[in-house]
A and B are shown apart, each in its own frame.
Chain A
């Protein structure tokens, strides 16, 4: 039982390049989330998917797209990376519809955009 896995662990991009961050969970959770974490800002929600086939914007969605590929996988795409997207990205998952449904996080992807 691996929990939430993310690839890659580290990535360096040049401004304007594109990339996809991958996330998978094996806990049979309905909901999946993408957050970014910046110094002094805390964790901020980018996008989430409450169930397979649905996605919704979070607090900071600009510059990102997501795909809920199936129940297990949720990817985050940067179409044209900008230095402001330098951050640590975390994927999380949870059950939907339960009060206080705790989210479980992956190990993160550390992205630098030059």
Chain B
């Protein structure tokens, strides 16, 4: 059973068309939820860490939110340079400090 499920698998947006990516998770105790961005042929790039339900963090056009069962990555007025795969990962307090990743959402923003 997957601990982390991301949806949709792929998303195509027009430039300026806001949307949200979802990350649902199941853990016994959440130590942290992480969002990464991955460009083709490169390693994941850290975006945000969220620790507890109700927490929100923002960076440019991205805003991450957290509830007890899921996290959303909101993208406001996206630009083509926001095209990438967005990865969600959780750190379970019963599993040390390893990260358990979802399969990612591939985002394409067209001009």
Interface residues of A (CB under 8 A from B): 4, 31, 33, 40-45, 48, 50, 56, 58, 90, 92, 94, 96, 99-108
Contact B103 A100 (CB under 8 A): no
Would you call A100 and B51 a contact (CB within 8 A)? Answer: yes
Shortest distance from the beta carbon of A36 to any chain B beta carbon, whole Å: 11
Q: List 25 A-B contacts (CB under 8 A).
A: A31-B97, A33-B98, A41-B103, A42-B103, A43-B44, A43-B89, A43-B99, A44-B101, A50-B97, A90-B43, A94-B97, A96-B97, A99-B31, A100-B34, A100-B50, A100-B91, A101-B32, A101-B97, A102-B34, A103-B99, A104-B46, A105-B43, A105-B45, A105-B46, A108-B41
**Residue interface bits B52-83, CB-to-A below 8 A is 1, else 0:** 00000000000000000000000000000000
A residues in contact with B45, CB < 8 Å: 105
Residues from chain B with a CB closer than 8 A to the CB of A43 are 44, 87, 89, 99, 101
Measured CB to CB, the residues of B under 8 A from A are 31-32, 34, 36, 41-46, 49-51, 87, 89, 91, 96-99, 101-104
What 4 pairs between A and B have smallest CB-CB spacing? A100-B32, A105-B43, A43-B101, A42-B103
Nearest CB in chain A to that of B96: its residue: A50
Q: Which residues of B contact A4 (CB under 8 A)?
A: 43
A4, A41, A104 interface centre (most CB from chain B within 10 Å)? A104
Q: A48-B98, A107-B42 are in contact. Are A40 and B34 (CB under 8 A)?
A: no
CB distance from B5 to the nearest CB of A (A): 10
